Amino acid sequence: MELRQSPAPAVGASKDAGLEQLRRDLAQAVSRVCPPTMADRRDDLVQNAMMRVMELQRRAPEHAPLSPAYLYRVAYTALIDEVRNVGRRREVAMDVVEALPEQPTSPDNPERAAGAAQIGRAVRDCLQKLAEDRRLAVTLYLQGHTIPEAAALLAWEGKRTENLVYRGLSALRACLALKGVEP
């Protein structure tokens, strides 16, 4: 896999074509440095690297064509910064299906157990339909976390988390009502 040197856009060439070529070159550099565990973040890394290069070109327009070695260094530093940010944000993948365990019911009442399982499926289905931020906030709230605890876990501001929880709960109630599940 060989990186090509990004030529400066010709006078008649569109600026978009030059940016697309730069993006392709940076995507190639990112793919060389990005470990498989961060494959889902490659587009973010390319975007971050693009912003760094654009800032350099804005500050120093006389900076001629970008060498492959420079693009590699930009991709590498973008990766390192992302790894550090992930550690700082304490990100934890949350799968709603795993996050809400089945509630135990008494084995002596099969009708009640079937009803509880049906309600559980309806709640999971409605949670899946929520926007991701709302889903995360509501899931933590339903697991018993307070709003400040959820805000700390998600590294969000308390007011944002509170709004997401209450709006998410409202949307969850509306979805459950459409499914015939009432409190």
Structural domain boundaries of the chain? 15-89, 96-178
- The three-class DSSP label of residue 6 is strand
Torsion of CA 164, 170, 175, 179, to 10 degrees: 140
Is pLDDT larger for residue 16 or for residue 7? 16
What pLDDT band is residue 167 in, cutting at 50, 70 and 90? very high
Q: Annotate 79-90 with DSSP letters as a single string.
A: HHHHHHHHHHHT
Distance CA 38, CA 36 (A): 5
Tell me the whole-structure pTM to 2 decimals.
0.42
- Whole-number pLDDT of residue 163: 93
Q: pLDDT tens for residues 59-78?
A: 877 766 678 888 888 888 88
Which residues 6+ apart lie within 8 Å of 17 measured at CB?
9
Q: Is the domain 96-178 a CATH 1.20.1600.10 member?
A: no
CA distances in angstroms from 96 to 127, 136, 137, listed in the order given: 8, 8, 11
* Token pair recorded at residue 4: 């090509």
